[in-house]
Structure 1
Amino acid sequence: MTIDWHPLESELDRWRTQNLALPLWWRDDDAVSVTPQLETLAGLSQTLDLPVHLAIIPRNADRQLVDYVARHRTLIPVVHGWAHQNHAPEGEKKSEFRLHRPIPDITADAQAGLDRLRKLLGDRLCPMFVPPWNRIAPEVVEYLPELGFRIISAATPRKARWPVPGLEQINTHLDPIDWRGTRGLTATDKLIGQTVKLLRDRREGRTDNAEPFGVLTHHLVHDQDIWTFTEGLLRRLLDGPGRIWVAPSENKPRET
């Protein structure tokens, strides 16, 4: 696979020339157990010295995963819904936390997810809520702070830093997988073009550069091309204006 990185490298040069910094973070979804793909993810995170926020499905998380996370400090566990179960009717986009059930049932699942991972992971857990499929109703978001969450993470540039008091929005912005097509790597020229546009919008003030720029991966479905692109992208961002952002765990104070 040949990748033309020149458009991205040119944009990163502009950031350097203007002495700009890019807050950068990494999220990976759908962890439930230790697999060869998870070991590849952890290895890449260690090689890059870039922590990866591992979105764990609470209902299905096993003891092996908990022990593995405990041994790998670059894996930052966060809460990925409850069961990654679709409750939307046929014909609607999949979701677990939109208003297809009574609010008490929805919030009970969010609470159950946080409680189970707190019990398994203790202070290692970051109180970040990642709704499956990056979809959640605003009415549900309002309840998250009182449940114990401090961060909500979905996708696309955020519209507000604090969607509700006590809850910070830290989204992801680039996913290399072609979910609607091959389910492999999206065409690299398209991915690089998307990245350049996202960075240019930040550099020129159209979107919020205070929000960490999020790269989203899904280790369980990666082929070698996806791993290769992801590593190349992260290396270039880190070598350029990227400054690593890591969400605070339960036992660390939050910045305000």
Structure 2
Amino acid sequence: MTEGWDALDAELEQWAAAGLRLPLWWRDDDAVTPTDALTRLEAMATRRDLPVHLAVIPKAVEDALAQHVSQSSHLIPVVHGWAHVNHANPDKKTCEFPSTRPVDEALTDAEQGVERLKHLFGARLQPMFVPPWNRISPAMLPWLAGLGFAAISTYGPRKRTQAASGLVQINTHIDPIDWKGGRGLVPEAQILAKLVANLQARRSGQHDNAEPLGLLTHHLVHTDEVWEFCDTLLRRLLEGPAHPWRFNERIN
């Protein structure tokens, strides 16, 4: 057992002593079709009884995914942009909905995304907008509720409950993938230190503990090490103060 896990256990004991509860949610990005990796994701979600909010790429999604999700009690589809295509300038970070893109054009894509997924998933689709790469122009936010979205999800502790009128912010906070270092697992100690700091800030009131703590995964690129870490982390959190949260039970 590493020092990182020991530190997490100690923090969770502090939560238990204070009688605190931790809403926990799970978002997995870039789904388009059923795969062996999706089957593995669903099996883990079932084992931990924690639903996965599956961020589906509307332009690329296949009918087979909708059929698969319709038969699952642990997969919850949400809208992942439109095409997962970069529209940022070459010198900027990748973004499908950057500030340099005309708002009306970007909103048209967002609307196409939700309409296509409504057609495929029906009432199973939840009105959450997940911009690819967790980035979006602030100019879009006031308009998303008008397209039928009730929430937006990016990355990091939220600064406010609502990103715009009628649009609650529900972010993710734990990303185990080393995107710049070969897409393996970020060193466990690094992930756990960041998580413990987040939990300490929540316990002390510096961060908003009403926002569900979010695990962000990408099933299509997971190594076995990433899978094993996520399963261990979820087990330990759920054995402690965490309780599963799903979007249709949303809180502000």
Same fold (TM over 0.5): yes
Q: Which residue is equivalent to 1:93? A: 93
Task: Give the TM-score, by structure 2 length.
Answer: 0.97
1:206 corresponds to: 206
Deviation at 1:89, TM superposition (A): 1.4
- TM-aligned CA deviation for residue 245 of structure 1: 1.1
Structure 1 stretches of 4+ with a deviation exceeding 3 A read none
Identical counterparts, % of pairs: 49
Secondary structure of 1:59's aligned partner = coil
Give the Cα–Cα distance (whole angstroms) in 1 for the partners of residues 11 and 224 of structure 2: 26
Contact 1:126 1:247 in 2 (8 A): yes
> Map of 1:113-192 to 2, 5 A cutoff?
113-192=113-192
CA distance in 2, matches of 1:14, 1:182: 35
Structure 1: which amino acid aligns with 2:171? N
Aligned residues of 2:95 and 2:132 also touching (Cα < 8 A) = yes
How many Å apart are 1:181 and its aligned residue? Answer: 1.4
Aligned residue for 2:15? 15
The aligned residue for residue 51 of structure 1 is 51
Deviation digits for residues 202-253 of structure 1 (CA, Å, limit 9, x no counterpart): 00111000000000000000010000000011111111000211001xxx8x
SS in 2 for 1:163: strand
CA distance in 1, matches of 2:117, 2:111: 10
Task: Work out the CA distance in 1 between the residues paired with 2:37 and 2:100.
Answer: 33
CA deviation map 1:159-214 (0-9, x unaligned):
11112111100000010001121210000011111110010010011100000000
Distance 1:83 1:3, change over 3 A: farther
Deviation for aligned residue 1:30: 0.3
Offset from partner CA, 1:97-120 (integer Å, 9 cap, x none): 112321111000000000000000
Matched residues in 2 for 1:222 and 1:235: separation? Answer: 18
> 1-side partners of 2:241 and 2:251: how far apart?
22
Q: Secondary structure at the match of 1:30?
A: strand
Any idea what SS the aligned residue of 2:55 has? strand
**TM-score normalized by the length of structure 1:** 0.95
Q: Is the 8 A contact 2:81 2:109 kept in 1?
A: yes
SS of residue matched to 1:142: helix
Q: CA deviation at 1:12?
A: 0.3
Distance (whole Å) between structure 2 residues aligned to residue 120 and residue 93 of structure 1: 31
The answer for unaligned runs of 5 or more in structure 1 is none
Structure 2 CA distance for aligned equivalents of residues 182 and 236 of structure 1: 27
Which residue matches 1:30?
A: 30
Secondary structure of residue in 1 paired with 2:164: coil
- The answer to whether the Cα contact below 8 Å between 2:156 and 2:172 also exists between their aligned partners in 1 is yes
SS of the residue corresponding to residue 143 of structure 1 reads helix
- SS of residue paired to 1:58: coil
Give the distance between the partners of 1:232 and 1:33, measured in 2 at CA: 26
Letter in structure 1 aligned against 2:37: Q
1:101 and 1:191 map into 2 onto residues whose CA distance is: 34
Say whether residues 1:224 and 2:231 are aligned partners. Answer: no
Across the aligned residues of Structure 1 and Structure 2, the Cα RMSD in angstroms comes to: 1.2
Residue number in structure 2 paired with 1:73: 73
